[in-house]
Structure 1
Amino acid sequence: MLIKKYLFLLFLSFFCLNIYSQTVLSSDSLLILARKASFQQQNYTLAKQYLHQAIQQSPDYTDLWVFLGRINSWEKNYDSAAYFFQHALLIQPSYEDASLAYAKMLYWNNQYQQSLQICNFGLKSHPESASLQLLKSKIFIAQKNYDSAYQIIQILIHQKKDVDAARALAGSIKSLLSKNQVDVSYDFVYFDRQFNNPWHLASVDYGRTTSFGLLTGRLNYANRFNENAFQFEVESYPHISKVFYSFINVGYTNNDNGVFPQWRGAFSLYANLPKSYEAEMGLRYLQFGNNPTWLYTAYVGKYLKNWLLGARTYIIPSNYTSKAGFVYSAMARYYFGGAYDFIGLTAGYGISPDDRYNAVLLDNRANLAAYKAGLLYRKTIGKMNVLSVDFNWVNQEYLPQTKGNQYQAGVSWMFRF
C-alpha cells in the first residue's frame, strides 16, 4: 500500500513539473511583455519584474539589460540605469543599441563629455552608425563646438544616411556656426487690375548669434499707393531647451500713410519633435491706425529624406472682421544639398500676416477670398553666401465679386561671417 502511494506521489510530481515547464515563458516572451507593460500600460514596475525574471533565465541576453537601463532612466534612476547599460556593454562591447541608449541618457542629463566618450566607444565598432553620429553632432552643439557638429551633418547628408533628421539639424547648426550675417533683399509686385502702379519693397538687416540665440535688426523700405515709408524691426530666436526655441519680432513705423502697419509683432514657440517632426504655435499682432488685431497661427512639418512637407493656418478673430477668417497654406521643399540648398513650392488660401509684401492688405476688414501659389529657389554660393529667388502669384478678391491678379518677384543675398 505504501509503495502504491509513493509511486502515485512520484507520478504526480513529474506531471506537475512537466506542466510547469510548459507554462514557463521564454526570455523573448518576457521581453515582449515588458515592452507592452511599459509602452501600453505605463507600468514600469511590472515591466522590470518581467525583465528580472528573464535575466534569471538568460543572464547574457543583452537586450534585457539595455531595456532595463532605459526604464530606469525614464524613472530618473540614473545610477541604476548606468549600471545596467554598463553591464550590457560588458557582455557585448560592440552592441550599438547599448552605446546609443547609454550615451543618450548622459546627453539628456547634460553630461556631455561622458556621453561623447560612450558615443566614440560605440563608433569604434560601428563607424557608419547614423544614430551615433547624429547624437555626437548634438553633443558638439551643446558643447558649442559648431564646426565639428556641422562636419558630421554634412557627411551624413552626403552619404544619404538618416538624411531627414540630419537636415532638420543642419539649419540650426549653420545659424550657430557663423556669428554674423547680413541680408539684402528686393521685391517687385505688379497688379493687373487692383492698383495702377507696382509696389517696390527693399530691406537690409544685420544679425548676430548670441548666447541666447540669433538677434537681428532690419530696416525696411516700401513704395506703395504712390507713398514711401520706412519700417524698423527687431527679431530674435531665443533657445529655450534642446527641444524648444522661440521667435520674437517687433516692428514700428512713424508713418501713418498705410504703407506699413504702424506696429507689428510676433511670438512663436517651436518644437523639434521625435521622428523628424517640427511644430509651431504663435501669435501675430498688426495695428493699422487705431485698428489693432491679434492673429493666431499653428504649423506642423515633417522631414522625409530629401523633402520637408508642412502645413500652416492663421486664424483672424471675428472682433476684427465680420466673421472669423482662416488662412491655409501648404509647402513642400526638396533639398538638393545642405540646409540652404532647396527648391520650395507653396499653395494656399487667404492673406498671411507673415507675407511681408502683402500683409498690408489685411487692413481691409472684409472677408475677401485670395488664392496663391509660389516658387522659391535657395542656393549656397561658396561657404557663407546664400542666394534666394522667389516668385508668387495671388488671385485676390479686392472688392466683393471683383478679382485681380498680383505677381511678385523677389531676390535676396545673405552673407555670413
Structure 2
Amino acid sequence: MRKTYLNIILLFLVAGIFRVSSQDTAGNFDTAYALAYEGKTNTAHNMLYLMMNKPAVDEDISILWASTLSWRGDYDLARSEFNGILSKSKTNREAWISAVKNELYAKNYATALGLSNKALMHIKNDKELTRLQTVATDGVNGITYDSDGWFNVSSTISNKFRDAKKSPAASKESNITEIDNVHKTPVTEEKLKNTVMVNSAVTFFDKRFDPITTSSISYKRQTSFGSIIPRINNSNRVGKNGIQLDLDLYPKIAKGFYAYLNYGYSQSDLYPDHKVGGDVYYNHKSGIEFSAGGRFINFATKDVKSITNSLGYYTGNYYFSLRSYITPESDNLTNVSGNLLVRKYLKDAKNYMGLNVGVGFSPELRQFTSGDQLLAETLLYIESQRLSFEYQFTSKNNLSAYRTNVGVLRQEQSFDPGSYFYSISAGLTYQFNF
C-alpha cells in the first residue's frame, strides 16, 4: 500500500512540471533581462532572438536586444537597431542612453556626442544623458577613462537597462542575484548585498528508519570578488543531534570564468569530520556552461575522493544541467553517479520550478544506518534512484523568496542486497535580501 502511495506521488511530481502553462512574452523578457544583468549576455541574446522574430515586438524587447548586440561587440548592428527604435520613439530615454553607450563602447566619441546632444533636445536636462555627453566630449578631446569608470550611473538615476558589463559573474548556486524587476519598483544591486536563508526539511521512510529532520541557517554576502556564504547545518537522526559548520565561496576568476569552493567541519558522527570541494565554471557564448572539480570527504573510518563535472545549457526559459561523480575505489573499481536538473524560469530568474533526477549514490547525500552502525556517504555501490521537485517564488517587492521541495528516494539496503526502502522528503527555505 505504501508503495502505491509513493507511485502516485511520483506520478504527480512528474505530471506537475508539465502541466504549467507556457509563459507569456513579458515573462520571457523578464528572464532575459535578469540573465543579461547577471552577465549571461549571450544566453539573453539567444532568448531575445526568438522574441524579435514574432509579428509584434515590444519596444523594451527591442531595446534590450539592441543592447545585447552592443555588449557582444556588434556595434554596427546595435546602431541600426537603436536608429530604428528612435525613429519611431524620439522620447524614449532608455533607447537614447543605450544608443549613446553603444558609441562609447565602440569609441566613436564624435558620434556619441552628436547622439547625446540630439537626445537632450527631446529629453531636457536629463542627468544621465548629460553625464554621457560629458564623457563623449572628453573622448573627442582625447581624455579617456581608465577601466570601466564611465559605466557607473549616478545613484539618482533609475536606469532599468544597467550595463551588464558591470554585473557580477553568474553563479551555479541559483542564486540568481538581486536583479531589478523592470515592471516593478527598482531594487538596486548596490542596496542588496546581503541575504539570510533559513531551511528546514524532514524525511520519512516506509520501513525500518525513523524520520530524519534537518535545518540550516546561512548568510550570503555579495562582494566585488564574489559571494561568501557561511552556514550552520543541523541534523537529527537515529536519536542523535549533530551540527556542521559550512562555508561556500564563489570567487570571480576572469570573463566567463568563476569558481565554487566549499569547506565543512563537524565533530558529530552524523557528519564527516572534514569535507572539501571545488569547481571551476566556464560560460560559453553559446549559452553552454562547463565545470570540472572534485570532492574530498574525511570520515572517522574512511576518506572519499570524487571527480565531478557538469554540463549546463540555457535555452529559452529553461536551464538544463547534468552533473556526474566519478569515485575511484579499491580493487580497480570505479563508481559513477549522476544528477539531471531541469529548471523552468517563470516571470523572472528568481521565480522558477525544477525537476531533479538522480541515479547512483552520490558522495554528497545524507547518511543512513545499518543496524547500530552509522553509514556515511561512502555507500558507493548501493543502487539508488531519486526524484525531487522544487518551486521558488518571490514576494511583491522581491525582497523575500520562498522555495519548497518534495522528493522521493528508492535505495537498496546495505545489509540486505536486492531489498529496497523508499523515502519521502519535503523542505521549505525562506530567503530575505537586504
| Alignment correspondent of 2:316 | 305
Matched residue, 2:363: 353
CA displacement, residues 306-348 of structure 1 (integer Å, 9 cap, x when unaligned) = 11112111111124x8721111221211111221111101112
Other structure's SS at 2:176 match: helix
- Does the alignment pair 1:277 with 2:288? yes
Q: Contact 1:309–1:333 (CA<8 Å) still a contact in 2?
A: yes
Deviation for aligned residue 1:211: 2.1
CA spacing shift, 1:223–1:187, aligned 2, 3 Å: same
TM-score by length of 2: 0.58
Does residue 152 (structure 1) correspond to residue 161 (structure 2)? The answer is yes
CA distance in structure 2 between the partners assigned to 1:149 and 1:357 by the alignment: 49
**After the TM superposition, which residues 236-247 of structure 1 pair with which residues of structure 2 at under 5 Å, given as runs?**
236-247=249-260
With over 3 angstroms needed to count, the CA separation of the structure-2 counterparts of 1:346 and 1:153, relative to structure 1, is farther
Residues 204-353 of structure 1: matches in 2 within 5 Å? Answer: 204-255=217-268, 257=269, 259-319=270-330, 323-353=333-363
1:375-414 alignment, distance < 5 Å: 375-381=389-395, 382-399=397-414, 400-414=417-431
Q: What's the secondary structure of 1:216's corresponding residue?
A: strand
Out of 357, 373, 388, the position equivalent to 1:374 is 388
CA distance in 2, matches of 1:170, 1:221: 22
2: distance between equivalents of 1:153 and 1:306? 21
Are positions 1:188 and 2:202 aligned together?
yes
Please state whether the residue corresponding to 1:351 is helix, strand or coil: coil
CA contact (8 A) 1:140 1:149 kept: no
Instruction: Indicate yes or no: 2:105 matched with 1:115.
Output: yes
Greater relative contact order (Cα < 8 A, sep 6+): 2
State the alpha-carbon separation in 1 of the partners of residues 303 and 367 from structure 2. Answer: 19
Distance 1:365 1:412 in 2: 28
1:14-61 residue CA offsets vs partner (Å, 9 max, x unmatched): xxxxxxxxxxxxxxxxxxxxxxxxxxxxxxxxxxxxxxxxxxxxxxxx
Moved more, 174-183 or 325-334: 174-183
C-alpha contact (below 8 Å) 2:304/2:363 kept by paired residues: no
Deviation at 1:173, TM superposition (A): 5.8
Cα deviation code 1:56-103 (max 9, x no counterpart): xxxxxxxxxxxxxxxxxxxxxxxxx9xxx9xx97xx995459xxxxxx
CA distance in 1, matches of 2:252, 2:153: 13
Cα shift readout 1:225-276 (whole Å, capped 9, x = no counterpart): 2111111011110011121000111000112x2x111111110101111111
Q: How does 1:108-147 map to 2 (within 5 A)?
A: 114-115=104-105
Matched, 1:199 2:212: yes
Instruction: Work out the CA distance in 1 between the residues paired with 2:297 and 2:426.
Output: 24
Cα pair 1:240 1:246 within 8 Å, conserved: yes
- Report the alpha carbon displacement of residue 397 of structure 1 after superposing the two structures with TM: 0.5
Q: Secondary structure at the match of 1:289?
A: coil
Separation of aligned partners in 1, 2:406 and 2:104: 49
| Unmatched tracts of structure 2, length 5 or more | 1-72, 83-100, 120-147, 164-169, 180-187
Structure 1 unmatched ranges of 5 or more = 1-80, 98-110, 128-138, 155-164
Shift of 1:182: 0.3
Structure 2 CA distance for partners of 1:266 and 1:94, relative to 1, 3 Å: closer
- Point out the more displaced range, 368-377 or 142-151: 142-151
Calculate percent identity across the aligned residue pairs.
23
- Please provide the CA RMSD for this pair: 4.3
Q: How many residues align?
A: 291
**Which SS does the other structure have where 2:361 is aligned?**
coil
Partners of 2:288 and 2:150 in 1: how far apart?
Answer: 20
Alignment of 1:11-22 (within 5 A): none
Judging by fraction of residues, say which structure has more helix. 1
Shift of 1:117: 6.8
Describe the superposition over 1:286-307 as per-residue Cα deviations: whole angstroms up to 9, x where unpaired: 1110311211111111111111
Q: CA contact under 8 A between 1:267 and 1:283: conserved in structure 2?
A: yes
- The one-letter code sitting in structure 2 at the alignment partner of 1:341 is N
The structure with the larger Rg is 1
Residue aligning to 2:176: 171
The superposition leaves residues 158-195 of structure 1 with CA deviations (integer Å, 9 ceiling, x where unpaired) of xxxxxxx9x999925649652111000001011112x4
Q: Contact 1:187/1:201 (CA < 8 Å) preserved in 2?
A: yes
Contact 2:235/2:242 (<8 A) preserved: yes
| C-alpha distance 202-115 of structure 1, shift in aligned 2 (>3 A) | same
